[in-house]
Amino acid sequence: MSDGERTETGAPEKTEDAADAGESADESGAEPAETEPAGDRIFSSYGIASTVLGVLAVAAVVLGYFIWSAHRDEVGERAYLTRVMQTAAEWTGVLINMNSSNIDASLQKLHDGTVGELNTDFDAAMQPYRQVVQKLQSQSAGRIEGVAIETVDHDLDTQPGGARPRRSDVTTKLPPFASRMDSVMLVATSVSENVGAKPQTLHWNLRLDVCDVDGKLMVSGLESIR
């Protein structure tokens, strides 16, 4: 019986020990739960920082693209206007150097470089120059003194209520594939040596309209400015 009593009295002691062990396990198991929110907060901070840096990087790339694109367009426009002024200067150079020995070749070259109404009415527009050269039998030597862009017109169609009305002498019969037209001011001088007379210096103040026709620059308007 003493053995049985020892057995019965030993059992509750094991139960209390198990309960204590369970409570210890529960207490030890609660400690990782307390560290999870801190880990989440650390991860969220890094995540927010990464997102902000990513947005800033994308914004920098977009801004750089727009700056590069604007610079490229500006460079392209300057190069185009340089071609426009060169075309006007070359065409005017033929005009102011026209003389009795090269009149036919000069007029043909000028005609080939025109478009629109100036091309259609070329003979009438050049008749005064032809008559002067033939009458005076002059030998002229001219040079361009200055050239500058006066106006830029990317849209050839006149819009209602536009800021600048189109001049009456500007051609309205351009080819449908003409994309733009620019006006160029030119100042030139030429020395005309007439037979039996003293050399005369002529001053030229001209306005030329240069039109982009399917990628080729041609003169579409000519006006003498006094």
The CATH number of residue 37's host domain is 3.10.450.230
Determine how many CB atoms are found less than 10 A away from the CB of residue 177. Answer: 9
| pLDDT, greater one: 59 or 196 | 59
Radius of gyration of the chain (CA): 44
The pLDDT assigned to 211 comes to: 92
Strand residue runs (E) in the chain: 139-153, 178-193, 200-213, 216-224
- Residue 175 scores a pLDDT above 70: no
Q: Classify residue 163: in a domain, yes or no.
A: no
Long-range contacts of 65-70 (CB under 8 A, 24+ apart): none
Percent of the chain with pLDDT over 90: 25
164 falls in which pLDDT band (50, 70, 90)?
very low
> What tens digit of pLDDT does each residue of 126-142 get?
888 888 777 767 677 88
- Residue 108 scores a pLDDT above 70: yes
Domain that holds residue 82: 1-156+168-226
> What tens digit of pLDDT does each residue of 38-68 get?
545 555 777 777 787 787 788 888 878 778 7
- Answer for the pair 177, 214: CB distance below 8 angstroms, yes or no: yes
- Residue 82 scores a pLDDT above 90: yes
**Strand bridging mode 139-153 / 178-193:** antiparallel
Q: Classify residue 182: in a domain, yes or no.
A: yes
The pLDDT assigned to 25 comes to: 45
Q: Classify residue 162: in a domain, yes or no.
A: no
Tell me how many domains the chain contains: 1
DSSP class of residue 73?
Answer: H
Q: Classify residue 25: in a domain, yes or no.
A: yes
- Answer for the pair 143, 188: CB distance below 8 angstroms, yes or no: yes
Q: Classify residue 39: in a domain, yes or no.
A: yes
Closest-CA residue to 222 (of 145, 126, 79, 90): 126
Q: Classify residue 215: in a domain, yes or no.
A: yes
- Answer for the pair 206, 186: CB distance below 8 angstroms, yes or no: yes
Q: Worst-scoring range by mean pLDDT, 16-25, 86-95, 147-156, 188-197?
A: 16-25
Best mean pLDDT range from 21-30, 130-139, 151-160, 212-221: 212-221
| pLDDT, greater one: 199 or 156 | 199
